[in-house]
């Protein structure tokens, strides 16, 4: 029986950029933390500076250490599932995992056990950690690559905002049917549901704004394929798949959107994540290795 998770305490160092700010302004204007969470931390006296309870309006000094203790949030919904996952990056605030093909990102049905969230729960359980599982974004079941999980309520809120504000660079690699000619281009086409199909999306004037920046890395004439890099400015469901099909170059293997069935899945991999860490202010650059065997992309790029 897993021991209950103790309250989580994090330590945030005050850098020169934050010198002179108050705890209150750090939470509200720098981190854009939810008002409800800030109120709870303040009322329950869960924030201290160095060795003293925080005075929320007092200016901070470079070199100070902030300690934040979060309420106990046990994972009572995600069943730990024993499987091996590849950790790309980890610290006390977040976890970046390399998702394999054939695995959904999160649980959609009660008692579901074979998602990445279940695997992350098992990984944390191995560290005697039974915290709530918080994914920041998603990948389609058959898409591989890097996904961010937050480890506490504050990092969850901040990373959500960063994703919404396009402050997390997401780079994908894909193989598309056909030989592209433009070296770089941007697709701006709103995406909405396809009312004729339960899971498919389509370009629609009434859909949500969607922007994909593309770069051709290589063309393979003998296989009629293009090897491309895509960067997302928005994060709509099936965005790259829909946009590439819309311009006449569906992803190879993506039969839902008209791609040739030359692979067992769509040839799409979330290769890189890059962002400035909200607590350490260091730039995080993560590259997710390819997991397929045989490797779909191996002829075109090193693992």
Active-site hit among 64, 91, 114, 140:
140
Nearest CA to 185 out of 248, 221, 145, 229 is that of 229
User: Tokens 């021991």 sit at which residue?
Assistant: 3
Contact (Cβ atoms closer than 8 angstroms) between residue 224 and residue 179: yes
Contact 115, 105 (CB under 8 A): yes
- DSSP letters, 190-237, are -EEE-TTSSS-EEE-TTSB--EEEEEEEEEEGGGTEEEEEEEESS--T
What is the three-class DSSP state of 243?
helix
Q: Would you give the DSSP letter of residue 2?
A: P
64 is catalytic: no
Positions marked catalytic: 140
């Amino acid at each position: 029986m897993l021991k209950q998770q103790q309250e989580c305490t994090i330590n945030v160092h005050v850098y020169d950029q934050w010198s002179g700010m108050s705890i209150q302004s750090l939470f509200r204007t720098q981190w854009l933390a939810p008002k409800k969470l800030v109120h709870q931390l303040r009322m329950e006296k869960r924030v201290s500076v160095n060795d003293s309870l925080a005075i929320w309006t007092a200016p901070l000094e470079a070199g100070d250490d902030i300690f934040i203790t979060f309420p106990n949030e046990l994972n009572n919904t995600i069943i730990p599932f024993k499987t091996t996952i590849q950790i790309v990056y980890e610290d006390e605030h977040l976890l970046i995992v390399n998702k394999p093909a054939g695995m959904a990102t999160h649980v959609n049905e009660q008692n579901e056990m074979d998602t990445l969230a279940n695997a992350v729960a098992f990984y944390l359980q191995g560290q005697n950690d039974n915290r709530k599982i918080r994914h920041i974004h998603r990948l389609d079941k058959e898409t591989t690559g890097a996904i961010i999980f937050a480890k506490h309520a504050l990092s969850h809120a901040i990373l959500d905002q960063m994703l919404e504000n396009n402050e997390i660079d997401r780079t994908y690699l894909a193989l598309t049917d056909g030989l592209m000619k433009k070296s770089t281009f941007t697709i701006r086409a709103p995406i909405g549901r396809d009312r004729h199909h339960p899971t498919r999306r389509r370009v629609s004037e009434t859909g949500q704004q969607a922007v994909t920046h593309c770069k051709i890395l290589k063309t393979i004439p003998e296989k009629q394929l293009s090897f491309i890099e895509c960067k997302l400015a928005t994060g709509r469901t099936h965005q790259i798949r829909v946009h590439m099909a819309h311009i006449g170059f569906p992803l190879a293997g993506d039969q839902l959107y008209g791609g040739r069935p030359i692979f067992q899945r769509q040839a799409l991999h979330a290769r890189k994540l890059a962002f400035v860490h909200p607590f350490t202010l260091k730039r995080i650059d993560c590259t997710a290795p390819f997991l397929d065997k045989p490797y779909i992309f191996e002829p075109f790029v090193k693992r």
